[in-house]
């Protein structure tokens, strides 16, 4: 039984990690930390009543290392980078759900996050936790940078085409839509029910931090430099990301070929479902699946992809990475 | 043209008052005050773009009195009570959308709001702004206490029966449901989209401040002391209040008689629609109507009533009171 | 491995049964029948892509009996009663998710469903599948009448109090609220998105078929005849039932005593969580839990209960019954 | 007072036309026709209780011509084309809310709608009812083809740029999102609450009938042939269209220049608000406004536009056209 600590236990991703691990036969949550809360986990997350009735605590790194083997770090960026080096030094394995170890270049990190990265060497050597691309490298790692939700959707949709050199790398437009849970549990005007409900809006046009993350990974799997135009939108729903992606094929491409490229690329991957119908976010709600299809319209390639931002976009892929790090079956607790 | 000032201009009720007054041919909004915002009204309330592009200000009472004739006070309770005496002294008429002048007894106010009322004499003499009950007394007043949203729904549903002595005054159960906009625009965990959406919950069981307000007005229109069991619930929708009310008739009562009692009571009232079908909140969304019907099941009277908490439950009835105070047609800007 | 057939495979409850059984280590779905669809299960229920890609069929009873051991009957009432006797004769075990075998009295069935019951003897002898009340009788049965969603919520909330003789049996008011999925997958005006969204409404006031079902079971667990006033409402959300229940205690009852009565009654029951906070439907979404608490306000007992109408209110309790019938651990596939 | 008939009175657009005309001081609804309903208008559309309590009828053209001066034709396409010639012959003016007279080329109509146009001469000569483009031609017309909702949003966003020759006409991608009310009031599986809620999906990829309509009008206002890639999506909300539009500028274009082009083009148009912030559908809900802004990201022009599909996208622009046809102030009943 692997003993788990959840750091930053009050947020939605922490909640989802706990919910998933409750089903995991080889993992047991021993510590849930919080700086602001000290009561029962189930009094903060009432859906966990009867499942996690022990108290949240604020333990030292030494105490965590005594109680746990693996840490799911659910802190916000910056706080995560402050905590992780000492956790690793204490011999813990870490799945970092923040953005702090995703970008490989410290200067890119500084540009997009507005502060210097204090652990630059490790930054450049951390494996990006997208199992469909980096499965073999994830196995046995001590630290994994769990990917962003928009990022996973976009990369999974595009990787078969950019890695195969099938599309113009400068032609990519990602029109992405997300449910509101992705914005987190901290009260803000913009995520109040009365602001979001019955409303659809764009935000972060040209400035969203998932854009450089997408470009880094797509450039990594391609032989070319990939630049994307990425536009996120907020949808009045809890969960789900939908990406509508437009790209210009380098050579003529049929719809059948496009879908076949997807199928080949994801053959053997249990959580990517290449479908022929148009996917809906509801099809993957509360699951670790990413559903993808392709269309060719007026000569342009369109890729449509969906996943649950809380599961395959955060907590689910974190558990998937955890399974790989611990050499468990990749699908444990996720089907 | 009556010149209007809106005090406390950042909230949702202020927004709705402005939206309604924009259609009012005899009123012009000259001042929108805020302590926290100083930019254009339309930058805080983007739906008012092109309609209210002048700046929010933080004027003195003297300045308000120079620019306006009537004030819609959209401050929270306590702040409202601090501001209103001087506004009245400066010769302004005031519609108070807070709870500060609704309860007539200072000790009841203190019990439910947790602080002493600093204007107790006026408290006992302020007219409660429910035109269907107090139309004649509202006309010509300088200060009107605009009623609460749950309160209006409950009172309009019950007044015909308690005033007619048709039901046991101790038997009343009000199971009320509200959209989320009623909770206001201040960011709170409980009103985040991700908390409210796909959820239904009760709150304030036995402790909601609209309970004594309902009891006071129903006791006033009855010859008996009326005590109610009032339970509010939160519905994942923007707007609307639905009250399901249960009471024991004193003597046998048929459904037809019950509906007839409603019709007679509200004859000539333009904003109460007594209907024979079961009403829905959507029927009255964005309107100043309150729809009511009655049923008799297993000998018990059920009354079902709906209104839009932002309009008939707040800003709409405020404009209705404004029309009465200014001797305009009661329906101006409200149909 | 127990082989399962799903009869009436196009509806939402069938979908949920399949989703749950996909996780069940001792059950395998071998047949999904439909009279209207013959393509892959996953083309009707796209969320099951990659999980159930075999075709829907319309097999004879003999064919079903060759392929399966247990049938989940997801047909509408009447159709269910037409199919079940021959399924049982062919040696199959049946969990009936319709209402056809819930009421024990054929004349009550006829009154509420508008047609004669064609299998009256069996009707009077079928066990009602609420494991918290009838666990021992469910074990080993061949036919179980799976309870209704409103019914389960109401009965679980009230059983401890009526069986203990703590409340006046004629005083019970159940104000119940349901998400829209309960209305099923057949297209109807009243369940269109544009009709339900941003709306709250009552329906079936005094006439809903779950009322006699609640009364039958509560009378069964009580020594008195129990009559309830039951009012269902439609909430703009997918899933969840919330019951706000009012009753008059026979003798003085404190909140603490009320909650303690619930805790004692449900001790050892894995799917009823007696909580001290006010429950929300979201706490139990996508789970087999029913969360219950109690309050005493102005001398009246209030019980508040929630469950997911698709899971604990339909497919989840069906699998729970299946587990009991097959002598599996009651919680298999449900945690 | 202009007398109005509504043909096809059971749908949502008819409802909205009635709601708007109820406020119109120079129009009176005298006839609401339906083939399926014969009871009071307010029993079909309960929100109109007390406003339209007269019966729906199924009158002949002659009867309509006796009772009304102007017809709002809310029939589906094909039915509309069958009815309109005789209405015009009887001397009535018609605003057609269907698609039957929007496309100017009968062969294009036949290709996209699957049947021959039976009134081809009139088709080529009917004015397209987008007042911002064709105001002067609308005045005094007897028949106006009221535009589609996606179409209006897209055209209003793009017209300033294509008419000014500022963007490559083959580079245009319109990623459009709509609330569910646009799908109408006929019960269909795909628009059930339980299907749409908590889901985001694309549909009609490459095949939506608004695509040729957009191309026709944009080509008309441009000197070039304009071809667009148009993708509609369904958003879990009642009302609102959001268009995210991508295009390649012919020459370098700054954000400031782009917004200035919009402002100049729409100067003097009361219902187009060019804004500098990112618009939200909620800003224009229940209004006749279309809010538009522009951004330039990585050299590409992005235009973001919103309107209420029921108002500016259907009933509101219909009333706006009615006002122009009748020589009333264009904004009557619409502010």
pLDDT (average), residues B219-242? 97
Q: Give how far B310 is from chain A: nearest CA, Å.
A: 12
Look at phi and psi of residue A327 and say left if phi exceeds 0, alpha if psi is from -120 to 50, else beta: left
The per-residue pLDDT for C104 is 95
pLDDT surpassing 90 at residue A223: no
| Cβ atoms < 10 Å from Cβ of A189 | 10
What's the token pair of residue B121?
Answer: 């004499």
Q: Which residues of A touch C44 (CB under 8 A)?
A: none
pLDDT surpassing 90 at residue C223: no
Q: Which residues of D touch C194 (CB under 8 A)?
A: 12, 180-181, 183, 185, 191, 238
Task: Please indicate whether, in this complex, the C-beta atoms of B50 and D284 are within 8 angstroms of each other.
Answer: no
Residue C311 burial (CB < 10 Å; 0-12/13-18/19+)?
A: buried
Taking the alpha carbons at both ends of chain C, their separation in whole angstroms is 20
Assign B226 a pLDDT band (cuts: 50, 70, 90). very high
| Cα separation, A162 vs A214, whole angstroms | 12
Q: Which residues of C touch D194 (CB under 8 A)?
A: 12, 180-181, 183, 185, 191, 238
Q: Which residues of C touch A335 (CB under 8 A)?
A: 22-23
Considering only CB atoms, D277 lies closest to which of B22, B46, B282, namely: B46
Task: Please indicate whether, in this complex, the C-beta atoms of A47 and C273 are within 8 angstroms of each other.
Answer: no
Q: Which residues of D touch A245 (CB under 8 A)?
A: none
Backbone φ and ψ for C283, nearest 5 degrees, come out as: -60, -25
Q: Which H or E run includes D87? A: helix D79-89
CB C169 within 8 A of CB C222: yes
What's the token pair of residue A307?
Answer: 């996943």
Q: Which residues of D touch C191 (CB under 8 A)?
A: 192-194
Q: How do residues A135-175 score in pLDDT, each as one tens digit?
A: 999 999 999 999 999 999 999 999 999 999 999 999 999 99
Q: Which residues of D touch C185 (CB under 8 A)?
A: 189, 192, 194
Q: How many helices (H) and strands (E) does chain A have?
A: 12, 13
Closest CA in chain D for residue C196: D193
The per-residue pLDDT for B296 is 98
| Cα separation, B247 vs B258, whole angstroms | 12
CB A150 within 8 A of CB A210: yes
CB D311 within 8 A of CB D287: yes
pLDDT (average), residues C186-191? 96
Considering only CB atoms, B202 lies closest to which of C195, C236, C304, namely: C304
Mutation site, D198, D254, D279, interface A, largest A CB count within 10 A: D198
Backbone φ and ψ for B3, nearest 5 degrees, come out as: -90, 130
Task: Please indicate whether, in this complex, the C-beta atoms of A49 and C280 are within 8 angstroms of each other.
Answer: no
What's the token pair of residue C162?
Answer: 């009526």
Give the 3-state DSSP-derived string for D5-52, with helices as H, strands as E and coil as C.
EEECCCCHHHHHHHHHHCCCCCEEEEEEECCCCCCEHHHHCHHHCCCC
Q: Which residues of B touch A187 (CB under 8 A)?
A: 187-189, 191-192
Give me the CATH topology for the region A149-309. Dihydrodipicolinate Reductase; domain 2 (3.30.360)
Q: Give how far A95 is from chain B: nearest CA, Å.
A: 25
Task: Please indicate whether, in this complex, the C-beta atoms of C193 and D188 are within 8 angstroms of each other.
Answer: no
The per-residue pLDDT for A100 is 97
Q: Which H or E run includes D154? A: helix D149-163
Closest of A150, A93, A149, A104 to residue A128, by C-alpha = A104
| Cβ atoms < 10 Å from Cβ of D189 | 11
Task: Please indicate whether, in this complex, the C-beta atoms of A335 and C49 are within 8 angstroms of each other.
Answer: no
The per-residue pLDDT for C175 is 98
Give the 3-state DSSP-derived string for A182-199, with helices as H, strands as E and coil as C.
HHCCCCCHHHEHHHHCCC
Concerning whether B196 is annotated as a catalytic residue, the answer is no
Mutation site, A191, A198, A299, interface D, largest D CB count within 10 A: A198
Backbone φ and ψ for B318, nearest 5 degrees, come out as: -65, -45
> What letter does residue B244 receive in the DSSP assignment?
E
| Cα separation, C315 vs C320, whole angstroms | 9
Q: Give how far A210 is from chain D: nearest CA, Å.
A: 15
> Which residue matches tokens 């802190």?
A75
**Count of A–D CB contacts within 8 Å?**
128
The per-residue pLDDT for D208 is 94
> What letter does residue C273 receive in the DSSP assignment?
E
**D302 beta partners:** D246, D295
Considering only CB atoms, B302 lies closest to which of C205, C235, C239, namely: C205
Considering only CB atoms, D173 lies closest to which of A201, A246, A278, namely: A246
Among candidate residues D74, D149, D196, D290, the one labeled active-site is: D149
CB A289 within 8 A of CB A267: no
CB C315 within 8 A of CB C73: no
Contacts of C331 (CB under 8 A, 6+ apart): C270, C271, C320, C323
Closest of D33, D93, D10, D12 to residue D313, by C-alpha = D12
Between strands D300-307 and D241-247, the pairing is antiparallel
pLDDT (average), residues A287-301? 98
Q: Give how far B267 is from chain D: nearest CA, Å.
A: 12
| Cα separation, A80 vs A72, whole angstroms | 11
The 3-state DSSP class for residue C308 equals coil
pLDDT (average), residues A36-54? 95
| CATH classification number, B2-147+313-325, choose in 3.40.1110.10, 3.40.50.12780, 3.40.50.720, 3.20.20.100 | 3.40.50.720
**Count of C–D CB contacts within 8 Å?**
58
The per-residue pLDDT for D223 is 86
Closest CA in chain B for residue A45: B195
The residue extents of the domains of chain D are 2-147+313-325, 149-308
Closest of B330, B278, B269, B325 to residue B305, by C-alpha = B278
> What letter does residue A167 receive in the DSSP assignment?
B
Task: Please indicate whether, in this complex, the C-beta atoms of C193 and D189 are within 8 angstroms of each other.
Answer: no
Task: Count Cα atoms within 13 angstroms, Cβ side, for A54.
Answer: 11
Q: How do residues C51-110 score in pLDDT, each as one tens digit?
A: 998 999 999 999 999 999 999 999 999 999 999 999 999 999 999 999 999 999 999 999
Mean pLDDT across chain B, nearest whole number? 97
Contacts of D207 (CB under 8 A, 6+ apart): none
Task: Please indicate whether, in this complex, the C-beta atoms of A187 and B187 are within 8 angstroms of each other.
Answer: yes
Portion of chain B with pLDDT greater than 90, in percent? 99
Task: Count Cα atoms within 13 angstroms, Cβ side, for D273.
Answer: 26
Task: Please indicate whether, in this complex, the C-beta atoms of B298 and C238 are within 8 angstroms of each other.
Answer: no
> Which residue matches tokens 């790209």?
A247
| Cα separation, D213 vs D147, whole angstroms | 9
Q: Which chains touch C (3 or more CB pairs under 8 A)?
A: A, B, D
> Which residue matches tokens 């809010």?
D291
**Residues making up chain D, counted from first to last:** 335
> Which residue matches tokens 């625009």?
B185
Q: Which residues of C touch D (CB under 8 A)?
A: 12, 180-181, 183, 185, 187-189, 191-198, 236-238
Q: Which residues of C touch B292 (CB under 8 A)?
A: none
Contacts of D158 (CB under 8 A, 6+ apart): D167, D172, D214, D218, D245, D247, D303
What's the token pair of residue C203?
Answer: 């329906």
**Helical ranges in B139-198 per DSSP H:** 149-163, 193-196
pLDDT (average), residues D10-19? 98
Q: Angle at the Cα of A258 (from A252 to A259), degrees rounded to 5?
A: 160
Q: How do residues D226-267 score in pLDDT, each as one tens digit?
A: 999 999 999 999 999 999 999 999 999 999 999 999 999 999
Q: Which H or E run includes B62? A: helix B61-67
| Cα separation, A37 vs B257, whole angstroms | 56
Task: Please indicate whether, in this complex, the C-beta atoms of D192 and C197 are within 8 angstroms of each other.
Answer: no
Closest of C333, C289, C320 to residue C307, by C-alpha = C289
Closest of C286, A294, C32 to residue C42, by C-alpha = C32
Give me the CATH topology for the region B149-308. Dihydrodipicolinate Reductase; domain 2 (3.30.360)
Closest of A283, A308, A311, A239 to residue C47, by C-alpha = A283
Closest CA in chain B for residue D334: B23
Between strands A272-274 and A300-307, the pairing is unpaired
Q: Give how far D301 is from chain C: nearest CA, Å.
A: 34
Considering only CB atoms, D198 lies closest to which of A197, A231, A282, namely: A282
Q: Interhelix angle for B210-221 vs B106-113, to 10°?
A: 150
Q: Interhelix angle for A149-163 vs A255-266, to 10°?
A: 110
Q: Which residues of A touch C43 (CB under 8 A)?
A: 277
Task: Please indicate whether, in this complex, the C-beta atoms of D335 and B23 are within 8 angstroms of each other.
Answer: yes
Sheet holding B2-7, edge to edge: B27-33, B2-7, B70-73, B93-96, B143-145, B127-128
Among candidate residues C149, C196, C290, C326, the one labeled active-site is: C149
Task: Please indicate whether, in this complex, the C-beta atoms of B282 and C205 are within 8 angstroms of each other.
Answer: no
pLDDT (average), residues D100-116? 96
Sheet holding B272-274, edge to edge: B201-202, B228-234, B172-178, B241-247, B300-307, B290-297, B272-274
Closest CA in chain B for residue C232: B244
The per-residue pLDDT for B110 is 96
> Which residue matches tokens 């406020």?
D23
Contacts of A106 (CB under 8 A, 6+ apart): A116, A117, A120, A123, A124
The per-residue pLDDT for B223 is 86
Closest CA in chain B for residue D48: B283
The per-residue pLDDT for A167 is 98
Task: Please indicate whether, in this complex, the C-beta atoms of A47 and C279 are within 8 angstroms of each other.
Answer: no
Q: How many helices (H) and strands (E) does chain B have?
A: 12, 13
| Cα separation, A212 vs C155, whole angstroms | 55
CB A262 within 8 A of CB A193: no
Over its C-alpha atoms, chain B yields an Rg (Å, rounded) of: 19
Which positions of A are annotated as active-site residues? 149
Mean pLDDT across chain A, nearest whole number? 97
Task: Please indicate whether, in this complex, the C-beta atoms of C23 and A273 are within 8 angstroms of each other.
Answer: no
Q: Give how far B103 is from chain D: nearest CA, Å.
A: 33
Q: Which residues of C touch A49 (CB under 8 A)?
A: 273, 275, 283, 289, 291
Biggest CA pair distance of chain D = 61
pTM given for the model: 0.97
Contacts of B54 (CB under 8 A, 6+ apart): B32, B40, B41
Q: Give how far B20 is from chain A: nearest CA, Å.
A: 19
**A74: Cα separation from own chain's centroid:** 12
Q: How do residues D271-317 score in pLDDT, each as one tens digit?
A: 999 999 999 999 999 999 999 999 999 999 999 999 999 999 999 99
Closest CA in chain A for residue D278: A202
């Amino acid at each position: 039984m692997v003993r788990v600590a959840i750091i930053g236990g009050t947020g939605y991703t922490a909640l989802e990690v706990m919910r998933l691990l409750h089903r995991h036969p080889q993992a047991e949550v021993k510590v849930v930390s919080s700086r602001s809360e000290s009561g029962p986990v189930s009094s903060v997350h009432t859906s966990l009543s009867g499942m996690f009735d022990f108290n949240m605590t604020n333990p030292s790194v030494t105490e965590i290392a005594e109680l746990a083997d693996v840490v799911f770090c659910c802190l916000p960026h910056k706080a995560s980078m402050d905590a992780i080096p000492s956790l690793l030094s204490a011999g813990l394995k870490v799945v970092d759900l923040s953005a702090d170890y995703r970008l490989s270049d410290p200067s890119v990190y500084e540009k997009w996050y507005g502060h210097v990265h204090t652990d630059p060497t490790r930054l450049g050597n951390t494996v990006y936790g997208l199992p469909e691309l980096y499965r073999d490298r994830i196995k046995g790692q001590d630290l994994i940078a769990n990917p962003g939700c928009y990022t996973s959707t976009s990369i999974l949709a595009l990787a078969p085409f950019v890695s195969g050199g099938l599309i113009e790398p400068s032609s990519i437009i990602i029109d992405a839509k997300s449910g509101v849970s992705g914005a987190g549990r901290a009260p803000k005007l913009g995520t109040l029910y009365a602001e979001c409900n019955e409303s659809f809006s764009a935000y972060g046009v040209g400035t969203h931090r998932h854009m450089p993350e997408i470009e880094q990974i797509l450039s990594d799997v391609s032989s070319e430099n990939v630049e994307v135009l990425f536009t996120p939108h907020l949808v009045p729903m809890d969960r789900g990301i939908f990406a509508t992606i437009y790209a210009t094929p380098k050579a003529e491409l049929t719809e059948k070929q496009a879908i076949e490229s997807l199928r080949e690329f994801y053959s053997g991957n249990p959580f990517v479902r290449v479908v022929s119908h148009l996917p809906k976010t509801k099809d993957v709600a509360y699951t670790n699946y990413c559903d993808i299809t392709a269309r060719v319209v007026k000569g342009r390639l369109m890729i449509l992809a969906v996943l649950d931002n809380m599961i395959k976009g955060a907590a689910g892929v974190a558990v998937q990475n955890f399974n790989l790090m611990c050499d468990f079956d990749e699908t444990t607790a996720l089907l």
